[in-house]
Each structure stands twice: as C-alpha cells, then as structure tokens.
C-alpha cells in the first residue's frame, strides 16, 4: 500500500494549519488578559489542536507497511524523539496555561512570579523544537520506503 500524493497533500495541509493555529494562539493568547472565558476557549483549542496533530502523525505511522508488518520497533527508533517532544510540548502547554489562568484569576497580582516567568520562557523556547521535530517527522514518514515491502524484508532478513 503506497501513500498517494493526494493523501500526503491533505495530511500535510492539515498539519500546516495546525501549526499556524498553534503559533497564532501562542502569539495572541496574552492579548485577552482579563477575559477569562475567551482565554480558556483559546487554550482548550490549542490543546485540542496539539492532540489532533499527534494523532494525525500516529495515524500516518499506522498506515505504513512497516507498522502493518509488525516492525513497530523500527518506526519507534526513528521517530522516538519527535513523539517525545510532541508529548513534552503538550504537557508544557497544558501546565503553562493552567498556571496562567490561576495567576490571572487573582485580582491583586499584577506581576508574574519568577516561577511562572521561567515556565513561560521554557514553553516559548520549546515551541521551535516542537515545530521542527514534528514537521521533520511528518516529512520523513512520507518517504516511499516506509510503504514498500521489499526493502524492509531485506533489512530484517539481514539482521
């Protein structure tokens, strides 16, 4: 089963839209400082888009010949870093936004605490690593070798 060019374009377009949404939400989420309902909706939308992006990446893994042949360890070895970074970024995003909502709900707090500022900076510094590793994994999984059986059978027979 080979991945079609049309399927790749659709998946890649959805992934790009999810990146644009994540970048926009990271950029503009602080504009709504005192509108807690709007900021909560934006944070939920961002977390859902991160979950959807990871699910989409995993679905592309499941459609490969390598996965269907039971060679899951090969996929895991090649994409472990990207999957771990995706999960870590989701956790950082969720923690940061829960903390931000708690900080913003306190009326007398005008300045962020040192701990929250450090968390905010770590999250913003982690986002380029997430974007890079996810996009790299999304482009690598579309390699035709993952959808062809002869190359993998030869490699497994050698080992």
Domain presence at residue 156 = no
> What was the pLDDT predicted at 110?
64
Question: pLDDT of 116-137, one tens digit each?
Answer: 889 989 999 999 999 999 989 9
Domain presence at residue 159 = no
The domain of 82 spans 5-150
Q: Is the pLDDT of residue 5 over 70?
A: no
Domain presence at residue 118 = yes
Domain presence at residue 32 = yes
Domains identified in the chain, total number: 1
Q: Confidence class of residue 51 from pLDDT cuts 50, 70 and 90?
A: very high
Domain presence at residue 155 = no
Give the residue, 150 or 135, on which the prediction is more confident: 135
Q: Is the pLDDT of residue 97 over 70?
A: yes
Domain presence at residue 122 = yes
* CA atoms of 95 and 39, how far apart (whole Å): 14
> What was the pLDDT predicted at 54?
92
Give 3-state DSSP helix, strand, coil % of the chain, rounded to 5: 85, 0, 15
- For residue 69, what are the contacts with CB-CB under 8 A and spacing of at least 6? 149, 152
Beta carbons of 67 and 75 less than 8 angstroms apart: yes
Q: Greatest CA span in the chain, whole angstroms?
A: 67
Q: How far is CA 50 from the centre of its chain?
A: 5
DSSP category for residue 30: G
Q: Confidence class of residue 1 from pLDDT cuts 50, 70 and 90?
A: very low
Q: Is the pLDDT of residue 153 over 70?
A: no
Per-residue tokens: 148: 């062809």
Per-residue tokens: 97: 């936004």
- For residue 97, what are the contacts with CB-CB under 8 A and spacing of at least 6? 29, 43, 46, 47
> What was the pLDDT predicted at 156?
54
Question: pLDDT of 55-92, one tens digit each?
Answer: 998 888 888 877 887 878 888 888 999 999 999 999 99
Q: What is the mean pLDDT of the chain?
A: 82
> What was the pLDDT predicted at 151?
59
């Amino acid at each position: 089963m080979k991945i079609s060019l049309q399927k790749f374009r659709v998946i890649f377009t959805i992934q790009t839209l999810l990146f644009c949404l994540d970048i926009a939400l990271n950029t503009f989420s602080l504009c709504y400082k005192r509108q807690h309902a709007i900021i909560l909706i934006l944070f939920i939308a961002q977390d859902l888009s991160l979950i959807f992006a990871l699910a989409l990446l995993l679905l592309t893994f499941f459609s490969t010949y390598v996965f269907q042949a039971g060679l899951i360890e090969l996929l895991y070895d090649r994409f472990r870093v990207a999957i771990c970074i995706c999960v870590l970024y989701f956790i950082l995003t969720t923690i940061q936004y829960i903390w931000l909502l708690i900080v913003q709900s306190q009326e007398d707090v005008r300045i962020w605490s040192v701990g929250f500022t450090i968390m905010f900076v770590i999250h913003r510094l982690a986002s380029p690593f997430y974007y890079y590793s996810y996009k790299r994994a999304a482009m690598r999984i579309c390699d035709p070798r993952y959808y062809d059986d002869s190359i993998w059978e030869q490699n497994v027979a050698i080992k």
